[in-house]
Chain A
Amino acid sequence: MINTYVIDRRLNGKNKSAVNRRRFLERYRKHIKKAVNEAVNKRSITDMEHGESISIPSEDIREPSFGSGRGGRRTIVNPGNKEFTTGDRVRKPQGGGGQGQGSGDASNSGEGMDDFTFNITQDEFLEFLFEDLELPNLVRKDLKEMSDFVYRRAGFSSQGVPNRINIVRSLRNAHARRIALSGKSRKRVKELQALIDEEMAKDEVLRNGQNLADWEEELTRLQAKIKRLPFIDDFDLRYNRSEKVPIPSNAAVMFCLMDVSGSMTQSTKDIAKRFFLLLYMFLRRNYEKIEVVFIRHHTSAKEVDEEEFFYSRETGGTIVSSALRMMHDVVKDRYPPSAWNIYAAQASDGDNWNDDSPQCRELLSKAIMPLVQYYSYIEITPRDHQALWHAYEEVQANHPDSFAMEQIIDASDIYPVFRQLFQRKSA
């Protein structure tokens, strides 16, 4: 008799706990977010590509239950006696209150105050990192890219695929057709029936046998004819029709403007790059179709690709308006504001050519702000603000909803400032 079955389960999924794990992360969201916020400031620019180890005080995740506490009188049996005999007295360890004697009462309360530590994946890390962030003022613009469609009901058609047959309409059509095509015959059938009945009602000797036979014959013929009408026919069929309707896409473009002039030290540049990298990752992750335009400037601005933006090391003097002008040109050229949501993020150390700041203000107020949904400016400097900041303050006063500016002093400000700029606003 075979009493044992051996089953190979190795091919079954190994992620049976995935849901429970998810639930756990969900429950301790706050803790994890805090840990993520702390972690992101410690990481270097290129180091966003892995998960993170998270610690939660075990106090916070305890599942309470009734148990015995310390105190009272208890006797615990231990193994391995070497020197004791009955009646011996041993001093209790100081302050410990009897911990040393093991857990005779098998309580779990003695696990200590260690943190509960576990790892989250890179994906989860980024999810927590960018949670609750969004591009402000995003609106659906016109039908630029016809990539998004919805199917809408659009009446009925006589052609289509079988799974879209509208049964009610089809049968109704069939019924109507049968009535229409058999109308004359059925009228005649009724007449004949009446004639036959009338004839039959007469006395037998008075009946006209010839007529009766003819009528009977015609009646059968007509009834057969009616019966031959198909119950349902091809041209009865009706199909639900649907139409592809393009929906307005929320096409968006982000302009990243970075000052790379000589006044920017290596560390300010580094901070600026980290800020943009964070921004770039956020856009890539949460907005699939967003376009990004990188513009770097010293005395003159240049549109560059991602690679050059983050890694090239050109320097020079500073004329901020050059970048703004360039951005304006690019918008005019390629991103008509009627079709695009336009965003800009600018990073600088606040140094600018003396006469240039008023120009920047003019440019922003007159030319750029009417075009963009949101403009954010970060100034990376531990020093006092200069002309540029004050010029921008005026802009902000005029556009409180769509212009934001923040100051970053050191690397630990990057993420908080980033969050502040792109915080989801409750509608």
Chain B
Amino acid sequence: MTQKPISTGSEWTFALIQEYDQVISEIAQEFRLDTYPNQIEIISSEQMMDAYSSIGMPVGYHHWSYGKQFLQTQQNYNRGFMGLAYEIVINSNPCIAYLMEENTMPMQALVIAHACYGHNSFFKNNYLFKTWTDASAIIDYLVFARNYVTQCEERYGVKEVERILDSCHALQNYGVDRYKRPSPISAAQEHARQEEREEYMQQQVNLLWRTIPVPEDRSEVKQERRFPAEPQENLLYFIEKNAPLLEPWQRELVRIVRKLAQYFYPQRQTQVMNEGWASFWHYTLMNELYNRGYITEGFMMEFLSSHSAVVYQPPYDSKYYSGINPYTLGFNIYRDIRRMCEHPTDEDREWFPDIAGKDWLDTLHFAMENFKDESFIQQFLSPQVMRDMHLFAVYDDEAESEYEISAIHDEPGYRRLRSLLAEQYNLSSREPNIQVVNVDLRGDRALTLRHVRHNNIPLNNEVDDVLKHLHRLWGFDVHLYSYDGDTMQQSYHMPPKDNPQETSLDESLKYV
């Protein structure tokens, strides 16, 4: 039977978008893509710039840094340095996807397949997203956050609010509990709980900092106890709960920044998987459309040219090279999984006995649902993909004058290369490991942080500025010690110390 193509021209209309969506949706269901309902919003390029600068969030509180982002986007776009992304998609229920009005029909169809079925099903089914985000509550929460910030601005002044937000933003990558699962709640509950919390928390803090003398015998015991009992990695949470001088509303602002950081946390951990998944499905779905005669050859040509631009990986020595393209890597891995299932070779049987020759859809869904970038690469990066991408690892030691090629895409190198690449996507090794180790409860209330160096990689030169922000939130002295193994390499102090090797230093580190 011959299917008449849905459209032939490059102009899009609302009716056509719906028709394409209908067909894509049917095929997606055959592939068992389980999605939230879609809300496709057509916007102009100016609106796209707005969306860009608010990290894609449809509502956000006001802050100058978003204005900066906007000006930057606008400038780059107007000068033609940069095209706008074809789409932005939001992890919410319904899943909101922005389509630009300037795009042609094939582009819109590509974006629908990519965002509304690829990303959407990823948001709904990947374990990290399931654990960390609540798609149905995020929009509510954003509205709550925006209103709360506005209220604070009216009550305490824009400047004051901005100061706190600036400081929180500086620490926002340290506002995540990596091990504790958050409980999702809606904005209405959030609001009800917020007032309760304000009072309660202030009480708690006051308790901690109480200066009324404690009976002698009990204070003996207390002196033994350190605070915090365990090192804390969630700096914002620690500040929210324990900073001595913050007002209740300031604590709430800290909380808002922390909550939003938490919402974005899974996205930072699944870039390769998420983009790869979406690219794999737009590719598969569009080919399916073509095979079934829904789209013409011209349509397909336009699609393929965009697709290959998206998954293009410049080699390391190209002037366009800026690291591994997550779209390419993810796309290649997913496609290779399918290949291994459908046409396994001996090598695949040896390397992936669980995958080779199995049902490809089952395997693919399993791979998407249960991993993050790091473990995904460790599990599924095959020798085939390493060969195709000509991957090689370069070892760079500060002390040496030469780089060493530590592994390449050959038999002895595969496993090492795979581990190294996986490690590269390990968020906790990408971001410096900094934890709160001590608060001098009985002395000057100083906060001590410890940085554990990964491979002796030092902190960047923004540390002092970040510490200023931390100092603002904490209200008392802040010390940061950077360790490589057991040896202290560097120390930072806010306010700065004239003499970095003070005697008190050893004392405060006794516990560490």
Contacts and interface: CB of A to CB of B under 8 A. Distances in A.
Contacts of B201: none
Contact of A86 (B42, B391, B405, B421): B405
B391 A81 contact: yes
Interface string B415-457: 0010011011000001110100000000000000000011111
A102 B406 contact: no
B91 to A, nearest CB: 17
Contacts of A21: 67, 70-71
B116 A7 contact: no
A81 B64 CA distance: 43
A37 to B, nearest CB: 20
B354 interface: no
A420 interface: no
B419 to A, nearest CB: 10
A121 B94 CA distance: 38
Interface residues of A, number: 66
B395 A63 contact: no
B316 interface: yes
Interface string A66-108: 1111111111111111101111111110000010011111110
B504 interface: no
Contact of A17 (B49, B98, B394, B412): B49
B459 interface: yes
B503 interface: no
Contacts of A7: 39-42
Residue from B162, B403, B454, B465 having most chain A Cβ neighbours under 10 A: B403
A64 B466 CA distance: 6
A82 B47 contact: no
Contacts of A76: 393-394, 396, 424
Given A3-B35, A3-B37, A22 B396 contact: no
B317 A92 contact: no
B18 interface: yes
A10 B389 CA distance: 41
Interface SS of A by simple majority: loop
Contacts of A73: 395-398, 455-457
Nearest to A22: B67
Given A64-B170, A64-B469, A75-B406, A8 B42 contact: yes
Contacts of B321: 78, 80, 102
A20 B69 CA distance: 9
B126 to A, nearest CB: 20
Interface in B279-337: 313-318, 321-324
Interface stretch (A112-120, A215-223, A311-319): A112-120
Contacts of B458: 68-72
Contacts of B98: 9
A205 interface: no
Interface in B449-505: 453-463, 465-466, 469
Contacts of B371: none
A65 B170 contact: yes
Interface of A: 3-10, 12, 14-17, 19-27, 61-82, 84-92, 98, 101-107, 109, 116-119
Task: Pick the 8 closest A-B CB pairs, nearest first.
Answer: A80-B315, A24-B67, A72-B457, A20-B67, A64-B465, A64-B462, A118-B71, A78-B316
7 contacts: A10-B47, A63-B65, A69-B459, A78-B391, A86-B406, A90-B404, A102-B323
Given A19-B62, A74-B455, 15 more contacts: A5-B39, A6-B40, A62-B465, A74-B395, A74-B396, A75-B420, A75-B423, A76-B396, A78-B392, A79-B316, A81-B391, A84-B405, A85-B405, A109-B460, A109-B462
